């Protein structure tokens, strides 16, 4: 009976917008109801693939269903605001660090702080970003694409995953003096079919989201945005091999909670993620999708995010951007 009374008290605190105590029964017993993963992308995105791979295993570990909700749009802000302002430790953000690390440099009236209002729980995988063109464009590598773009200023168009990937791509455009027209996408997972029919001529996004189109032969993946080749696509060169080291972009896919999520609840959530990532079927599924497993607990994930924030600050200098928040 005492445990029920304490749990009800914790729920009442949540209803009033009060943070839970780390020592509360609610935090110790987390989760007490279904856990919702809020994603910044739609179906078939890398985050969606990973979340669905994990969901059944987590249901068994946590004893509660995991509900996956894609809320694309608004440069990731729609999904992030749902978590930050929801103040609910069963409503968590599941997505790549690229979805939020650049926000302080690109939004004038940002209503949250990425480094304080999203609290790390666990890292899941490294997101392998890739660059692709229509096969019909007739270019075989990045150097040929750059040469084509320089010969036809403002004639080519591109789509890019919002956030970190777009930041890196903009640095690439500036460093190579390229003029290519951006096509905005509410959901970047809609870009691969457009590449396949030559509606746009370049895309930079997760390899997982473009892999199916690449297998049809309609699009050609020119490079993986990493320092080395991907085990999921060993025939595709890295951007470093291709001569463009400034294009390295390897976001961390992970789970984050609202600012006041109790430490005990975060630790339990992290333990569940790390346990699930011991399952070979999940690890193999992540690898096939171009997202090699990278299990990280709270502290390691925080350190990885700190490195991403530092990298963004360096790119911001190249782009002559200052932090707005």
Instruction: State the pTM of this model.
Output: 0.77
Structural domain includes residue 2: no
Helical segments of 138-240, H only? 142-151, 164-175, 191-196, 207-216
Please tell me the predicted confidence (pLDDT) of residue 163.
Answer: 78
Structural domain includes residue 6: no
Structural domain includes residue 5: no
How many domains is the chain partitioned into structurally? 2
When computed from its CA atoms, the radius of gyration of the chain, rounded to whole angstroms, is: 20
At which of 247, 272, 304 does a domain end? 247
Cα torsion angle, 166, 172, 175, 176, sign = negative
Do 239 and 96 lie in one domain? The reply is no
How far apart are alpha carbons 117 and 132 in whole angstroms?
34
270 and 54 in contact (C-beta within 8 Å)? no
Structural domain includes residue 25: no
**CATH number reported for the structural domain that contains residue 305 in this entry:** 3.40.190.150
**Considering only CA atoms, which of 156, 133, 291 is closest in space to residue 203?**
133
Do 111 and 168 lie in one domain? The reply is no
Please tell me the predicted confidence (pLDDT) of residue 221.
Answer: 97
Do 180 and 85 lie in one domain? The reply is no
**CATH number reported for the structural domain that contains residue 155 in this entry:** 3.40.190.10
How far apart are alpha carbons 319 and 92 in whole angstroms?
32
Please tell me the predicted confidence (pLDDT) of residue 24.
Answer: 55
Do 202 and 54 lie in one domain? The reply is no
Q: What is the mean pLDDT of the chain?
A: 89
For residue 215, the enclosing domain spans 130-247
Structural domain includes residue 1: no
Do 134 and 242 lie in one domain? The reply is yes
For 243, left (φ over 0), alpha (ψ -120 to 50), or beta?
left
Do 47 and 189 lie in one domain? The reply is no
Q: How confident is the model at residue 246 (pLDDT cuts 50, 70, 90)?
A: confident
Check whether 297 has a pLDDT greater than 70: yes
Pairing of strands 35-39, 91-96: parallel
At which of 206, 231, 247 does a domain end? 247
Sheet of 66-70, strands arranged across: 66-70, 35-39, 91-96, 252-258, 118-126, 293-296
Please tell me the predicted confidence (pLDDT) of residue 6.
Answer: 39
Q: Which residues contact 163 (CB under 8 A, 6 or more apart)?
A: 75, 76, 96, 98, 99, 100, 101, 102, 103
Q: H-helix or E-strand containing 253?
A: strand 252-258
Q: Which range scores top for mean pLDDT: 207-211, 292-296, 317-321?
A: 292-296
Do 121 and 137 lie in one domain? The reply is no
Do 242 and 289 lie in one domain? The reply is no
pLDDT (tens digit per residue) in 252-270 = 999 999 999 999 999 999 9
How far apart are alpha carbons 233 and 199 in whole angstroms?
25
How far apart are alpha carbons 95 and 85 in whole angstroms?
17
Do 222 and 84 lie in one domain? The reply is no
Do 163 and 205 lie in one domain? The reply is yes
Q: H-helix or E-strand containing 272?
A: helix 263-276
Q: To the nearest 10°, the Cα dihedral for 119, 123, 128, 129?
A: 0
Structural domain includes residue 17: no
How far apart are alpha carbons 183 and 76 in whole angstroms?
17
At which of 225, 247, 269 does a domain end? 247
Structural domain includes residue 115: yes
Structural domain includes residue 9: no
Do 41 and 189 lie in one domain? The reply is no
Do 232 and 255 lie in one domain? The reply is no
**Considering only CA atoms, which of 124, 121, 110, 168 is closest in space to residue 266?**
121
How far apart are alpha carbons 104 and 193 in whole angstroms?
31
Mean predicted confidence (pLDDT) in 202-219: 91
Pairing of strands 129-134, 219-224: antiparallel
Mean predicted confidence (pLDDT) in 41-67: 94
**Helix, strand, coil in percent for the chain, rounding step 5:** 45, 20, 35
């Amino acid at each position: 009976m005492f445990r029920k009374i304490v749990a009800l008290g914790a729920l009442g605190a949540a209803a009033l917008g009060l943070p839970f105590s780390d020592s509360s029964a609610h935090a110790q017993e987390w989760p007490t109801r279904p856990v919702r993963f809020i994603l910044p992308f739609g179906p078939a995105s890398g985050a969606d693939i990973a979340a669905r791979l994990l969901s059944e295993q987590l249901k068994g570990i946590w004893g509660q269903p995991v509900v996956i909700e894609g809320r694309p749009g608004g440069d990731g802000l729609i999904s992030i605001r749902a978590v930050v302002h929801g103040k609910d430790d069963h409503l968590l953000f599941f997505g790549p660090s690229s979805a939020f690390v650049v926000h302080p440099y690109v939004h004038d009236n940002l209503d949250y702080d990425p480094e304080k209002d999203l609290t790390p729980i666990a890292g899941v995988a490294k997101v392998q970003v890739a660059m692709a063109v229509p096969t019909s464009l007739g270019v075989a590598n990045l150097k040929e694409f750059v040469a084509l773009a320089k010969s036809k200023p403002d004639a080519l168009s591109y789509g890019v995953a919002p956030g970190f990937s777009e930041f890196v791509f903009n640095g690439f455009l500036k460093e190579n003096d390229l003029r290519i027209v951006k096509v905005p996408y509410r959901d970047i997972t809609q870009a691969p079919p457009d590449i396949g029919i030559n509606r746009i001529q370049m895309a930079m996004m997760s390899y997982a989201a473009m892999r199916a189109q690449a297998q049809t032969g309609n699009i050609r993946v020119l490079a993986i945005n990493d320092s080395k080749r991907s085990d999921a696509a060993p025939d595709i060169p890295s951007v470093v091999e291709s001569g463009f080291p400034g294009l390295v972009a390897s976001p961390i896919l992970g789970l984050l909670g609202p600012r006041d999520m109790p430490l005990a609840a975060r630790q339990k959530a992290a333990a569940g993620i790390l346990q699930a990532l011991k399952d070979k079927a999940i690890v193999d599924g992540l690898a096939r999708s171009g997202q090699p497993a990278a299990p990280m607990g709270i502290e390691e994930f925080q350190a990885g995010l700190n490195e991403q924030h530092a990298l963004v600050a360096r790119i911001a200098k190249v782009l002559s951007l200052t932090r707005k928040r």
